Amino acid sequence: MSIDEVKFVDKLLTFRKHYKEMYYLILIVPSSIKDRVERDYPDIYDEIVEGEDIPKLLYDLRKNLE
């Protein structure tokens, strides 16, 4: 684990500690690391998706806003 990864995870944990009730955090990650993030850091997000799923996410978001 790199120092940058530790800093990033700490920031997400701090954010969720303070704002979990106000925000729903969707973490977008490359498919190559999704399994590791799900396994090692299940508390840093509300939902995790692969980057290639972005078009579908945006479509669903727009549909829900209409």
pLDDT at residue 43, rounded to an integer: 95
C-alpha–C-alpha distance, residues 46 and 16, integer Å: 9
Q: Are 13 and 44 in contact (CB under 8 A)?
A: yes
pLDDT digits (tens, 9 = 90+) for 11-57: 999 999 999 999 999 999 999 999 999 999 999 999 999 988 788 88
In the predicted structure, residue 63 carries a pLDDT above the cut 90:
no
Give the predicted TM-score (pTM) of the model: 0.74
Q: Please tell me the number of Cα atoms within 13 Å of 54 on its side-chain side.
A: 7
In the predicted structure, residue 62 carries a pLDDT above the cut 90:
no
pLDDT at residue 1, rounded to an integer: 76
Break the chain into its structural domains and give their ranges. 3-65
